[in-house]
């Protein structure tokens, strides 16, 4: 179980990237969306994101406990989940992907209310939920922008 949690919570090793592993994982998530996931039906995409979220809660809890840290930098499945939430119903065009990437990173770093507050949730819930909220904020702004074009 610990090995599987390590693999999943680090998004297959992306969390070991030496510089800004969260940003690196977000970039991988954005590229996966652009090239593959954008082709999925929205229902299938929603199920995928839900699996990543709930799997992330479990794996982040197990792996962070094994490391003895509350929210280790190596755990990046939360960034992947939040980034994919950003792209819900977004086109795969490079401009949309880039704007969504920067919006998500901005909200993930700044953590306005209630994003920062959600980090206080216990175990893997806090690790995952702050990035989910950053993804929701980013998705709303991205959708407003796309509709104003």
pLDDT tens, 10-28?
999 999 999 999 999 999 9
C-alpha–C-alpha distance, residues 39 and 17, integer Å: 28
Are 60 and 9 spatial neighbours (Cβ–Cβ below 8 Å)? yes
Are 77 and 55 spatial neighbours (Cβ–Cβ below 8 Å)? yes
Could you give the percent of the chain with pLDDT greater than 90? 94
| CA atoms within 13 Å, Cβ hemisphere of 135 | 24
Closest CA to 82 of 30, 135, 31: 135
Res 149: pLDDT: 81
Neighbours of 5 (CB within 10 A): 23
Res 1: pLDDT: 63
Q: What share of the chain is helix, strand, coil (3-state, %, to 5)?
A: 75, 0, 25
Could you give the percent of the chain with pLDDT greater than 70? 99
* 112-137 mean pLDDT: 95
């Amino acid at each position: 179980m610990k090995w599987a949690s390590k693999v999943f919570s680090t998004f297959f090793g992306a969390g070991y990237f030496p510089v800004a592993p969260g940003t690196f994982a977000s970039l991988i998530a954005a590229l996966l969306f652009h090239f593959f996931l954008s082709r999925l039906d929205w229902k299938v995409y929603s199920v995928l994101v839900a699996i990543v979220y709930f799997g992330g809660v479990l794996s982040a809890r197990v792996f962070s406990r094994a490391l003895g840290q509350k929210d280790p930098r190596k755990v990046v499945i939360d960034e992947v989940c939040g980034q994919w939430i950003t792209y819900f119903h977004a086109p795969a065009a490079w401009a949309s992907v880039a704007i969504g990437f920067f919006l998500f990173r901005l909200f993930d770093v700044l953590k306005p209310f209630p994003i920062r507050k959600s980090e206080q949730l216990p175990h893997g819930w806090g690790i995952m939920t702050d990035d989910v909220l950053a993804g929701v904020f980013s998705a709303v702004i991205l959708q407003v922008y796309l509709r104003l074009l």
